[in-house]
Amino acid sequence: MTTLTHLVLAFAALLPTAGGVEAPPPAKLLNVVATTPDLAALARAIGGAAVDVKALAKPTEDPHFVDAKPSLVVTLNRADMLIEGGAELEMGWLPPLLESARNDRIAAGSPGRVSASTGIRMLEVPTSFDRSKGDVHSMGNPHFLLDPVNVRLVVTQIAQHMAQVDPASAALFRDNLKNFLATLEVKAAAWQKELEPFRGAKIVTYHKDFVYLAERYKLEVAETLEPKPGIEPSPIHLAAVIGTMRAQKVRVILVQPFQNRKTAETVARQTDAVVLDMPQQPGVKPNTATYFDLMDSLVHTLATALQEKK
């Protein structure tokens, strides 16, 4: 049942970008394209009525691997602004699309191009890099938006770039930014409070995609089901994970929609753990269209599970 609801909602979230029946936006709106829905949600919050925002990846798609389709090239071709996660998050799919789209407005270095990772204190930056070992996090961990402090930097940067590209709406962007940061302060305090009782709690994730959340709220990622970021779980590695989880009494496994839930469930059966659906993209779960709603939902889901499994 919940899976069905998720699917329906995921489809509903997709409709506006699916290129179906949508009418072209009024010409004066700034065309903003974000690589992922979470960045798109931030752009919407800052751009408000002055922008039309589209995301290239679906909320249920792995941001490291997005399928190329003509609509993506068209969307990039018409963009006034492109917001990417950066730190090689989109390395596997964005460059060829950009080459096909041939759009100088969003070329690297121009005001129309925002790389969200700029200025972020990256975690897990590898000291040495060996591609043959397989690693989709070669510039550090690019899943940094679940830390409110990082979001502060990202939205500020988005607002600056929007004002540069569309000076006429600069005041609107400044006001929206101010409101966003004020709400963020209140919300961040609430999230901190809700997760405070679980300081030091251990979690297992499928991919290394919750490390910033863990760092902010002092949780510990005991293991990941993937032996290395981007590498499929192998039997030997899963056996080791099960061992660790039993020894350290880890009782929650966090998965996103594009990850293999069955693998997580297999491990959970062996360890009396619970598998939590924790999509980092807005719109997958009901009422999570904005960053604040999404974080509310994630923090609450996690806190509830940690409480029950204590």
Partner 1 sequence: MMHVDFDVAWQVMKWPLAACLVLPPLLVYLGLHVVKREVIFVDLALAQLATLGTCVALILGYSFSDRISFWISLAVTFAGAALFSWSRNSERQHVPQEAIIGITFVVAAAGVILLLSRVAGGKEELEHLLTGDILNVTARDVGQRAAIFVVLAGFFGAFHRHFALISEDAKAAAATGLRVRLWDFLFYAAFAVVVVFFVRVAGVLLTFAYLIVPAVCSVMLARTWKSRLLVGWAIAALSSLVGLYASFAMDFPTGAAIVCACGLALVLVTIGVSFRQGKLV
Segment near partner 1 (CB under 8 A); pick from 91-99, 159-167, 216-224, 266-274: 91-99
Query: Going residue by residue from 218 to 247, which x/- string records binding to partner 1, judged by CB under 8 A?
Result: ----------xxxxx-x-------------
Q: Is 128 in the site for partner 1 (CB under 8 A)?
A: no
Residues 214 and 226: their CA atoms lie apart, in Å, by 17
End-to-end CA distance of the chain: 27
Residues 242 and 282: their CA atoms lie apart, in Å, by 31
Residue 23 or 108: which CB sits closer to partner 1?
A: 23
Sequence-ordered alpha helix ranges (H) in the chain: 2-14, 37-47, 70-78, 94-101, 148-165, 170-195, 211-216, 235-248, 261-271, 291-308
Q: Is 278 in the site for partner 1 (CB under 8 A)?
A: no
Q: Is 140 in the site for partner 1 (CB under 8 A)?
A: no
Q: Is 124 in the site for partner 1 (CB under 8 A)?
A: no
Tokens of 286: 């009901």
Residue 98 or 188: which CB sits closer to partner 1?
A: 98
Q: Which residues, numbered 15-54, are part of the site for partner 1 (CB under 8 A)? A: 18-19, 22-24
Residues 97 and 86: their CA atoms lie apart, in Å, by 15
8 Å CB contact between 140 and 122: yes
Q: Which residues, numbered 68-87, are part of the site for partner 1 (CB under 8 A)? A: 68-71, 73-74, 77-78
Task: Tell me which residues touch partner 1 (CB under 8 A).
Answer: 18-19, 22-24, 62, 64-65, 67-71, 73-74, 77-78, 92, 96-97, 99-102, 130-132, 134-136, 228-232, 234
